[in-house]
Amino acid sequence: MPEMSPAAKLAEELRSLVSDAEALLRASTSADGAEVQERAEATLRELRGRLNALEEQLTSQARDIDTYVRSNPWQAVAVVGSVALLLGLMMGRR
């Protein structure tokens, strides 16, 4: 099984947070709870939609990067090497 990227881990943690919030919302009932529960459910729906959009965007970007690196491996190596060199120079000056 491939290791999850940081973005995928973040998406999974957010999904878990939404699930926990839904469970808490279902568990909490009070006299004024109907209006609060309705607002909370609307917020959760919006959060779930944003999470799905973020996941689709990250997946698309990861696919594009993978395609580029596979098509141009030497250019990718040169870019990574250049970035590493610049970071090394910047860190060495401190």
For the chain, give the number of residues.
94
* Percent of the residues in the chain that have a pLDDT greater than 70, as a whole number: 82
**CA 80/CA 83 separation, integer angstroms:** 5
Whether 10 shows a pLDDT value over 50: the answer reads yes
1 falls in which pLDDT band (50, 70, 90)?
A: very low
Domain edges within the chain:
6-92
pLDDT per position as a tens digit, 37-93: 777 777 778 888 888 888 888 889 889 989 988 998 899 899 999 999 999 999 988
Region of residue 8 (phi > 0: left; psi between -120 and 50: alpha; otherwise: beta): alpha
In this structure, what token pair is assigned to residue 3? 């290791």
Residue where the block lists tokens 């973040």: 10
